[in-house]
Homo-oligomer: A and B are copies of this chain.
Amino acid sequence: MLASTPDPPYVAVIFTSERTAHDDVGYQQMAARMDELAAQQSGYLGVESARGADGFGITVSYWVDEPSARAWKRVAGHIEAQRLGRDEWYRRYSVRVAVVGRAYTDDPTT
């Protein structure tokens, strides 16, 4: 579940959100579909995602550069998901686009 990313620099898009109680099945399906769709985009490096029982979640997607991250925001299927997110699924959310300059891992498997 940890994303395997190359040496920095690369771009991280940090998406934090509070879920409404609305339409959990539809939300789960859309989230899975967006993970698949993101993975098909040029410049995609990986994604990491966690959501607690309290409905607060963080998804970080990794991209080779900022144009790749911006392009993903404008993919048609993703635009529809963003609209549903705003209207139905998220009470509130933040998006932060950041350049990763340093990274280290403690992963016995790598």
Residues of B within 8 A of A109 (CB): 92
Complex contacts, A38 vs chain B, CB 8 Å: none
- What's the interface size class on A, roughly? 35 or more
- 10 closest A-B pairs by CB: A98-B98, A92-B107, A58-B58, A97-B102, A98-B100, A94-B105, A50-B50, A96-B103, A1-B56, A50-B58
B54 close to A51 (CB less than 8 A): no
Q: A64 an interface residue at 8 Å Cβ cutoff?
A: no
Which residue of B is nearest A86, CB measured?
B106
| Inter-chain contacts of A102 with B (CB < 8 A) | 96-97
Contact check, A56 vs B50: say whether CB atoms are below 8 A apart. yes
